[in-house]
Amino acid sequence: MGVQQLEKNKNINKADISTELCGVKLQSPFILSSGPLSYAAEGLIKAHQAGAGAVVTKTIRLKAAVNSVAHISKINKDSLINCEKWADSEADLWFKREIPMAKEAGAVVIASVGHTLPEAEALVEDCEKAGADFIELVSYTEDTLLPMLEAAKKRVSIPVICKMSGNWPDPVGTAKKCLEAGADAISAIDSIGPTLKINIKKARPEMFSANGYGWLSGGAIRPIALRIASEIARNGCNNLIGIGGVTCAEDAIEYLMIGAGAIGVCSIAILRGIEEFTKLCNSTSALLAELGYNSISAVKGVALPNFPKEEKFAKLEFNKEKLPGGCINCQGCVVSCPYDARTLDFPIMKVDQDLCRSCGLCLSVCPAGTLTAEIVEK
């Protein structure tokens, strides 16, 4: 399985998904983000063997974390809430065992370091000596990150990544400042929060943190993460890791198209298993080829020139004849129309143009993709 499966699937109609980040070669653009799966060398190695191009350690701090009971919970099919902290093992163990062991297995290792200036000063050199290929700096506040970056750049020769939080007032502006201050790459974004989930059977918060709150990750945050990552890319970031809510090849390609060269994955691999990296590698390679792209560099940033400069006012002109054979008569387009503008006398689709607002919702809910329309000027 894993890398062997990737080799088996290298055939016709597959794009090359190997890539580079700051000059470091990655077997795929998918990176295991810092989280429960990167608890130790064993987790990092499993992700590498499943096809991850790089793996990020749990965030290493001077003091090991002690987590509350029941600190991770599923909230829908592809999202999690958690109140987990940083690495629950001592920093020395990462330097003496976890990082060297993962490196020996062939993984590209990103050492996550947080969350304060004294910790950056104390830890980054040992991460490099242990064999880490990158440092990723993580902070709870924007104003701490720049001093951490300055300290790290003075102490290590390996690339330094700064991780942005969607909870900050201006992560895009902070990313720009980090790049100007010497950051080699930006990762965006961290989990969103604080958030709340109530267990209705027990009438209490699901999380056992001090206040019952947690942090949201997975599919639910993808549109937020994608917007922030796209703005960072449009502000000139060439080495960008897009993180947040990737569950399938389509999600991954969205990140690539807005300028990310690598993609962080965590929640979906927790929910579906580490083999999700292999599936993402194979499906993304196939879909890129289907879309006409033969490599990561070919697709990277292709959507950036197409961002609108102003609102577009037009109308949708729908196919007025018999729907193609792919229509499954699910009635989704009819049910979801807020304006009752649609009727489907299968296979004939009718649209009341006086009621239709050209909102486009029906196009997005069609599971077969048979409902189509052209944008025409009013």
Same domain, yes or no, for 343 and 227? no
Helices and strands, counts by H and E, the chain: 14, 20
State mean pLDDT over 201-215: 98
Query: Is-contact 207 215, C-beta < 8 A?
Result: no
CATH code assigned at 330: 3.30.70.20
Two tokens, residue 202:
């027990």
Percent above pLDDT 70 for the chain: 95
pTM above 0.85, yes or no: yes
Two tokens, residue 151:
């300290």
Q: Which domain holds residue 213?
A: 3-306
- What is the residue whose two structure tokens read 């290929």? 133
Contacts of 248 (CB under 8 A, 6+ apart): 280, 283
Residue 347: per-residue pLDDT = 79
Q: Is the pLDDT of residue 360 over 80?
A: yes
pLDDT band for position 6 (50/70/90)? very low
Same domain, yes or no, for 289 and 325? no
Residue 279: per-residue pLDDT = 98
Same domain, yes or no, for 290 and 339? no
Structural domain total, the chain: 2
- DSSP class per residue in 40-70: SHHHHHHHHHTT-SEEEPPPB-SS---PPSS
pLDDT band for position 348 (50/70/90)? confident
- DSSP class per residue in 155-214: H-SS-EEEEE-TTSS-HHHHHHHHHHTT-SEEEE---EEEE--EETTTTEES--SSSS-E
Tens digits of residue pLDDT in 50-101: 999 999 999 999 999 999 999 999 999 999 999 999 999 999 999 999 999 9
Most distant CA pair in the chain: distance in Å?
Answer: 70
Same domain, yes or no, for 38 and 94? yes
The CA distance from 164 to 185, in Å, is 11
Q: Is the pLDDT of residue 126 over 50?
A: yes
CATH code assigned at 135: 3.20.20.70
Read off the amino acid at residue 247. T
Same domain, yes or no, for 150 and 191? yes
Domain boundary at 256, 276, 306, which? 306
- What is the residue whose two structure tokens read 């990552």? 229
Vertex 51 angle, CA 50 and 54, to 5°: 115
Same domain, yes or no, for 19 and 142? yes
Residue 323: per-residue pLDDT = 67
Tens digits of residue pLDDT in 10-65: 444 899 999 999 999 999 999 999 999 999 999 999 999 999 999 999 999 999 99
Read off the amino acid at residue 80. L
Q: Is the pLDDT of residue 2 over 50?
A: no
Q: Which of 21-25, 60-64, 220-224, 370-374 has the lowest mean pLDDT?
A: 370-374
Q: If we measure between CA atoms, which residue out of 265, 230, 236, 253 comes closest to residue 80? A: 265
Q: Is the pLDDT of residue 223 over 80?
A: yes
Same domain, yes or no, for 39 and 134? yes
How does strand 348-351 pair with strand 342-345? antiparallel
Instruction: Report which secondary-structure segment, H or E, holds 291.
Output: helix 276-291
Contacts of 175 (CB under 8 A, 6+ apart): 162, 164, 186, 188, 232, 235, 237
Q: If we measure between CA atoms, which residue out of 204, 268, 215 comes closest to residue 47? A: 268
